[in-house]
C-alpha cells in the first residue's frame, strides 16, 4: 500500500499539497516532519507534513517527497492544530501561518544548497553510480555546495531531484547542510591548564617555566584567578580564552607560546546562547496582603473558568503576582507562556524573572537572530521539562508540551495584532486558543482592559479579579490637563513646554528625579511645506506625506521606508522657502536638550532601537540614572518600571484624540493612562501633564480621574448603540492593486456580491485612511456581523464568494486579503 503526505508549503495557497512517500522514507516520515519537496518545475521548498493517508490523488501524477530533513518531527501535533485554527479563523493559508511560525533557520527554500558528504570515498562512490548520478556528483565535486537549480542547469538533467533522492537517502548528498549552516550553536574557545588542580608541585613547575617572562606569569596568575583554582571552596570555573586575554592584558601570541610550552590547552565548547545565568536563584518577593488576596482570587477563579482577567492599576504588582503563579505551575511540572506586547518589555522583565527562574526562563522574539530563535525552538522541542517562555507575539508558535499557564500582560495592547503580512492574527486571542488546546489556564492582565475583554469579564465569560491600589500604597499620580490654546494666549509656553510641565520638570530634575516625555510621532518634523506655494513632499509609493529626519537630513516615508534628501529649495516653485513644522521625538529630544542643557537626554523610538541591544542599553541607561530625561513614542508607555520617574509629560494628546475610528477613544484612554502610569511608581508621588488643544475632551477627564469603570460604562454604551464590537464582529476585506481603477472596480464588484448575501452588514467599499501603500492602491470593505452569528458559516460564505469570483478578469488582477477582528 502506498502512502501519501499532505505537505504545508510556505505559499499563500489555501491548501496543502499531496506527495507520495517513497518506500524508504515511509518509516520515518511522520506528521510534523520536515521535508524537502519539488514544487512546479524548478522550485524546491521545505514543508511540514500535516497528514499522512492512503488516498491516491486523482487526475495528476504525484511527485515523491525529495528528502526527509530530520530524523524526528520538528513540529508538534498541537502546533499543527493551532496553525489550522489560525488559517481558518484569520482567513489565510496554512502556508502563511507556517512562514510566520517557524524560524527561517528551519525552512530553507528553493535556493537550498546541497553538498557531498565528505565521509564518502569518491572513487568507491563512482563505481556504484549510474551515468546520470555520476554526472551530478561530478558537478558537485567541483563545488563545496550548490543549489538544485544550479545542478539542473549545469547538467541539463531535467529531473535532478528524482536522481538525487536515492543519493540523499544514502546520505551521499546532504541537504541539511544549509540548516547546519544557518543554525549553528555558538562555539567558544576555552582555556585550561594541563595539570591537575590538586597537584601543587606541577603548578610550581609551571611557574618555573614562565619565570623568565613577566607577561606569561601574568597570564598564569590571571587564569588562576578566573578559574578560582586556588580557592578550595569554589568549584573550578571554565575560562574563556578571550576573558583570559582581556584579564591578563596579553596578546594571542603570548598565549600561543604558552600553549606550545604545554602550559595551557585551548579547547572548544559549544555553549547555548542564553545569557549568563545567575549563580543562585531567589524566591519571588513576598506578596502584600492585598496581592495575596488577588492571587487567591485568581486561583479560585481558575477552578470554575480557565480564563481570568486581572484588572490591576499600574504599579499594583501584577508582575509579582504572575511570578508566584508561574512558580506554582513550574513546580507542578508544566510550562508557562508569558506574552508581552513590546520587545522593550522583555528586556526589563528578563532580569526580574531570571533572578527567580534562572535557566528555566527562555526568551523569544523577532529581534533575536535566527540562530537564537532556532535554539529556543529546539530546546522546547527536545525537552519536556517545565520552562517559562517570555516573548512577544511570535512566541505563541513555539513547540510547547504540557503548557499549564498562559499570561497575556497588557492584554489590551493593539501591538498584539499583526497587521501585515498574513497571518493577521491577534496574539492574545491566539494564546487563548493555544491554552484551551493544552487545557491550560490563561491570565489576562491590564490596568486598562480592552473593552471586549472587560465586557466578557463582567458578563461572566471570564473570571475577574481587581487590584485597585498600588503596591506599598504608592499613590496614583496627579494628572493635569493643560490647555495649550490658553498657554499660547497668555504666552506662557516656551516651545513645546507649557509652563506647568516645564516647572515641574525643572523641580524634579533638580531634586535628582527623572522625567519621561511622550510624543506619538517619530522623526524630526512630520510636516514639511513650502511657505510660498504650499508644496509638500509626498511618498512616491504611498499616499502619505514624508517626515523629516534631521540626523540623516532625509525625508522618509513611515509606511514603506522610501527616503529622499530634503531639497535645498522648493522643487515646485524654486524658492528658498521650505518650512518644517510639527514635532517628532527627534525634535522634542533636541528641544528638551536645549531647555535643560545640564541634564542628559535620551530617546527611545523605532529609529533608536533598530537592533536588539539598543533597547536594553536605553532602558538600562535610564534605569541606572545615566540619563535624566527620556523622550519616546508609545514604546515608553507600556509596562516599564522606572524607580525615579516623577514627572511624565504628554506633549500633544490631540493626534490621539482625533483619530477617525471607533476604537480611537479606547486607544487614547489606554495610551494616556499607561503613560501616566509610569510616574511615581515608588516612594514619591508622580505628576503627569497632558498638553492639548481640546481640554474639555471627555476621554481626558476619565484619564484625569483614573476612572476606568466610568470610561468603560460610557464606551460600552456607545458601542452598543453603534453596533460595534463586542456586539458585532468585524472582518475588513482589503483589495489591493497597482492600478487605481482596477482596484476600485474589483472592490465594487466584490461589495455587490457580498451585499447579495450579507445585505446591510456590508459597508463600503471605502478608501482606507492611507489609500496607497508601497505602490499598491487599497480599498476596504467592512463586514459587520452579529456577535451571535456563526463565524464558521460567515467565513465559509466568504471563501465561496471569493472562489466564484476568482476567475473573473476584473477581480483576478487584484489581491484580496482579510483582516479579522481589526484593532
- What's the closest the beta carbon of residue 668 comes to ligand ADP, in angstroms? 20
Angle between helices 289-304 and 318-331 (to 10 degrees): 50
- What's the closest the beta carbon of residue 447 comes to ligand ADP, in angstroms? 7
Beta strand 441-446 with 307-312 is parallel
What span, in angstroms and rounded, lies between the C-alpha atoms of 547 and 528? 7
Residues 225-284 that bind Zn ion (CB under 5 A): none
Answer for the pair 21, 42: CB distance below 8 angstroms, yes or no.
no
* Displacement of CA 698 from its chain's centroid (Å): 34
Question: Which listed option, ligand ADP, Zn ion, none, makes contact with residue 400 (CB within 5 to 8 Å by class)?
Answer: none
Residues 518-577 that bind Zn ion (CB under 5 A): 530, 532-533, 535, 539, 541-542, 557, 559-560, 562, 570, 572-573
Q: Collapse the DSSP code of 406 into the 3-class scheme (helix H, G, I; strand E, B; otherwise coil) and give the result.
A: strand
Question: Which listed option, Zn ion, ligand ADP, none, makes contact with residue 318 (CB within 5 to 8 Å by class)?
Answer: ligand ADP
365 grid coordinates: 522574539
User: Which lies closer to ligand ADP via its Cβ, residue 424 or residue 681?
Assistant: 681
- What's the closest the beta carbon of residue 679 comes to ligand ADP, in angstroms? 12
The single-letter DSSP state of residue 285 is: P
Q: Strand runs (DSSP E) across 643-794, as ranges?
A: 645-650, 687-692, 728-737, 762-766, 772-773, 776-786
User: Which lies closer to ligand ADP via its Cβ, residue 639 or residue 726?
Assistant: 639
- What's the closest the beta carbon of residue 288 comes to ligand ADP, in angstroms? 5
Q: How far is CA 410 from CA 364, 742, 789, in A?
A: 18, 41, 29
What span, in angstroms and rounded, lies between the C-alpha atoms of 501 and 506? 9
Nearest to 589 by CA among 523, 526, 543: 523
User: Which lies closer to Zn ion via its Cβ, residue 239 or residue 528?
Assistant: 528
The single-letter DSSP state of residue 802 is: H
User: Which lies closer to ligand ADP via its Cβ, residue 44 or residue 518?
Assistant: 518
Question: Which listed option, ligand ADP, Zn ion, none, makes contact with residue 532 (CB within 5 to 8 Å by class)?
Answer: Zn ion
User: Which lies closer to Zn ion via its Cβ, residue 562 or residue 669?
Assistant: 562
Helix (H) or strand (E) holding 820: strand 815-820
Question: Which listed option, Zn ion, ligand ADP, none, makes contact with residue 95 (CB within 5 to 8 Å by class)?
Answer: none
Question: Which listed option, ligand ADP, Zn ion, none, makes contact with residue 205 (CB within 5 to 8 Å by class)?
Answer: none
Angle between helices 708-722 and 451-458 (to 10 degrees): 100
Question: Which listed option, Zn ion, ligand ADP, none, makes contact with residue 52 (CB within 5 to 8 Å by class)?
Answer: none
Q: How far is CA 365 from CA 368, 389, 462, in A?
A: 6, 10, 28
- Return phi, psi of residue 746, to 5°: -65, -40
What span, in angstroms and rounded, lies between the C-alpha atoms of 270 and 238? 13
Q: Does 615 bind Zn ion (CB under 5 A)?
A: no
Question: Which listed option, ligand ADP, Zn ion, none, makes contact with residue 371 (CB within 5 to 8 Å by class)?
Answer: none
- What's the closest the beta carbon of residue 370 comes to Zn ion, in angstroms? 27
- What's the closest the beta carbon of residue 680 comes to ligand ADP, in angstroms? 11
Question: Which listed option, ligand ADP, Zn ion, none, makes contact with residue 288 (CB within 5 to 8 Å by class)?
Answer: ligand ADP
Question: Which listed option, Zn ion, ligand ADP, none, makes contact with residue 471 (CB within 5 to 8 Å by class)?
Answer: ligand ADP
User: Which lies closer to Zn ion via its Cβ, residue 573 or residue 722?
Assistant: 573
Answer for the pair 484, 491: CB distance below 8 angstroms, yes or no.
no
- What's the closest the beta carbon of residue 561 comes to Zn ion, in angstroms? 7
User: Which lies closer to Zn ion via its Cβ, residue 584 or residue 725?
Assistant: 584
Buried b (16+ CB within 10 A) or exposed e, 31-45: bbbbbbbbbeeeebb
User: Which lies closer to Zn ion via its Cβ, residue 542 or residue 754?
Assistant: 542
Residues near ligand ADP, by CB under 6 A: 285-288, 291, 312, 314-320, 471, 641, 681
User: Which lies closer to Zn ion via its Cβ, residue 148 or residue 530?
Assistant: 530
Q: For Cα atoms 60, 63, 67, give the angle at the middle one, nearest 5 degrees.
A: 165
Query: Under the rule (CB under 5 A), what is the footprint of Zn ion?
Result: 530, 532-533, 535, 539, 541-542, 557, 559-560, 562, 570, 572-573
Amino acid at each position: 500500500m502506498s502512502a501519501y503526505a499532505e505537505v504545508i508549503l510556505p505559499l499563500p495557497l489555501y491548501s496543502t499539497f499531496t506527495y507520495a512517500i517513497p518506500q524508504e522514507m515511509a518509516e520515518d516520515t511522520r506528521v510534523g516532519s520536515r521535508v524537502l519537496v519539488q514544487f512546479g518545475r524548478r522550485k524546491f521548498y521545505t514543508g511540514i507534513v500535516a497528514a499522512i493517508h492512503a488516498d491516491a490523488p486523482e487526475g495528476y501524477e504525484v511527485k515523491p517527497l525529495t528528502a526527509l530533513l530530520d530524523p524526528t518531527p520538528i513540529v508538534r501535533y498541537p502546533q499543527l492544530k493551532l496553525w489550522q485554527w489560525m488559517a481558518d479563523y484569520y482567513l489565510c493559508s496554512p502556508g502563511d501561518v507556517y512562514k510566520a511560525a517557524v524560524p527561517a533557520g528551519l525552512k530553507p527554500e528553493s535556493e537550498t544548497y546541497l553538498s557531498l558528504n565528505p565521509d564518502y570515498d569518491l572513487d568507491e562512490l563512482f563505481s556504484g553510480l549510474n551515468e546520470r548520478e555520476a554526472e551530478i556528483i561530478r558537478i558537485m565535486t567541483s563545488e563545496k555546495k550548490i543549489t538544485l537549480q544550479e545542478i539542473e542547469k549545469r547538467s541539463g538533467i531535467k529531473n535532478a531531484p528524482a536522481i538525487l533522492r536515492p543519493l540523499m537517502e544514502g546520505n551521499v548528498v546532504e541537504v541539511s547542510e544549509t540548516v547546519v549552516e544557518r543554525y549553528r550553536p555558538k562555539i567558544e574557545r576555552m582555556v585550561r591548564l594541563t595539570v591537575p588542580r590538586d597537584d601543587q608541585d606541577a603548578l610550581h613547575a609551571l611557574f618555573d617555566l614562565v619565570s623568565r617572562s613577566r607577561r606569561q606569569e601574568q597570564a598564569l596568575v590571571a587564569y588562576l584567578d578566573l578559574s578560582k583554582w586556588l580557592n578550595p571552596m569554589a568549584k573550578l570555573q571554565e575560562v574563556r580564552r578571550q576573558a583570559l586575554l582581556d584579564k591578563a592584558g596579553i596578546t594571542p601570541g603570548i598565549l600561543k607560546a604558552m600553549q606550545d610550552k604545554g602550559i595551557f590547552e585551548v579547547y572548544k565548547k559549544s555553549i547555548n546562547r542564553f545569557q549568563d545565568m545567575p549563580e543562585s536563584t531567589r524566591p519571588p518577593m513576598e506578596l502584600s496582603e492585598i496581592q495575596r488576596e488577588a492571587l487567591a482570587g485568581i486561583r479560585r477563579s481558575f477552578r470554575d473558568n480557565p480564563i481570568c482577567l486581572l484588572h490591576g492599576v499600574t504599579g499594583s504588582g501584577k508582575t509579582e503576582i504572575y511570578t508566584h503563579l508561574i512558580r506554582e505551575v513550574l513546580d507542578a511540572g508544566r510550562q508557562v507562556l508569558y506574552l508581552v506586547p513590546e520587545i522593550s518589555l522583555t528586556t526589563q522583565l528578563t532580569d526580574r524573572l531570571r533572578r527567580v527562574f534562572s535557566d528555566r526562563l527562555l526568551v523569544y522574539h523577532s529581534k533575536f537572530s535566527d540562530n537564537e530563535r532556532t535554539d529556543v525552538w529546539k530546546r522546547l522541542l527536545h525537552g519536556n521539562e517545565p520552562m517559562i517562555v517570555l516573548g512577544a507575539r511570535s512566541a505563541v508558535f513555539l513547540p510547547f508540551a504540557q503548557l499549564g499557564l498562559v499570561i497575556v500582560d497588557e492584554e489590551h495592547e493593539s501591538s498584539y495584532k499583526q497587521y501585515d503580512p498574513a497571518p493577521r492574527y491577534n496574539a492574545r486571542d491566539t494564546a487563548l486558543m493555544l491554552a484551551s488546546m493544552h487545557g491550560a489556564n490563561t491570565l489576562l492582565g491590564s490596568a486598562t482592559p480592552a473593552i471586549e475583554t472587560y465586557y466578557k469579564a463582567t458578563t461572566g465569560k471570564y473570571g475577574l479579579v481587581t487590584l485597585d491600589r498600588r503596591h506599598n500604597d504608592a499613590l496614583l499620580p496627579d494628572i493635569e490637563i493643560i490647555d495649550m490654546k490658553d498657554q499660547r494666549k497668555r504666552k506662557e509656553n516656551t516651545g513645546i513646554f507649557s509652563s506647568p510641565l516645564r516647572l515641574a520638570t525643572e523641580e524634579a530634575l533638580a531634586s535628582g528625579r527623572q522625567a519621561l516625555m511622550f510624543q506619538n510621532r517619530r522623526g524630526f518634523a512630520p510636516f514639511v511645506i513650502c511657505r510660498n506655494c504650499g508644496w509638500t513632499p509626498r511618498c512616491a509609493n504611498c499616499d502619505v506625506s514624508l517626515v523629516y529626519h534631521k540626523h540623516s537630513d532625509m525625508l522618509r516615508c513611515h509606511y514603506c521606508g522610501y527616503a529622499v534628501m530634503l531639497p535645498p529649495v522648493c522643487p515646485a516653485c524654486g524658492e528658498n522657502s521650505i518650512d518644517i513644522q510639527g514635532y517628532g521625538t527627534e525634535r522634542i529630544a533636541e528641544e528638551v536638550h536645549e531647555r535643560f542643557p545640564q541634564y542628559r537626554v535620551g530617546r527611545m523610538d523605532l529609529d533608536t532601537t533598530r537592533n536588539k541591544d539598543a533597547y536594553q542599553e536605553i532602558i538600562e541607561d535610564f534605569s541606572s540614572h545615566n540619563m535624566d530625561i527620556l523622550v519616546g513614542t508609545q514604546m515608553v508607555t507600556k509596562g516599564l518600571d522606572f524607580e525615579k520617574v516623577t514627572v511624565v509629560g504628554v506633549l500633544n494628546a490631540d493626534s490621539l484624540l482625533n483619530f477617525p475610528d471607533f476604537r480611537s477613544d479606547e486607544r487614547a484612554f489606554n495610551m494616556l493612562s499607561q503613560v501616566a502610569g509610569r510616574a511615581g511608581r515608588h516612594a514619591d508621588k508622580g505628576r503627569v501633564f497632558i498638553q492639548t488643544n481640546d481640554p474639555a475632551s471627555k476621554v481626558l477627564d476619565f484619564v484625569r480621574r483614573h476612572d476606568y469603570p466610568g470610561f468603560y460604562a460610557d464606551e460600552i454604551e456607545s458601542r452598543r448603540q453603534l453596533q460595534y464590537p463586542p456586539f458585532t464582529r468585524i472582518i475588513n476585506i482589503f483589495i489591493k492593486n497597482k492600478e487605481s481603477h482596477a482596484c476600485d472596480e474589483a472592490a465594487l464588484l466584490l461589495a455587490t456580491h457580498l451585499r447579495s448575501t450579507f445585505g446591510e452588514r456590508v459597508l463600503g467599499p471605502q478608501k482606507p485612511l492611507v489609500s496607497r501603500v508601497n505602490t499598491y492602491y487599497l480599498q476596504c470593505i467592512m463586514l459587520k456581523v452579529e456577535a451571535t452569528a456563526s463565524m464558521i458559516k460567515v467565513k465559509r460564505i466568504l471563501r465561496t464568494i471569493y472562489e466564484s469570483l476568482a476567475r473573473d478578469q476584473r477581480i483576478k488582477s487584484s489581491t484580496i486579503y482579510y483582516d479579522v477582528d481589526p484593532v
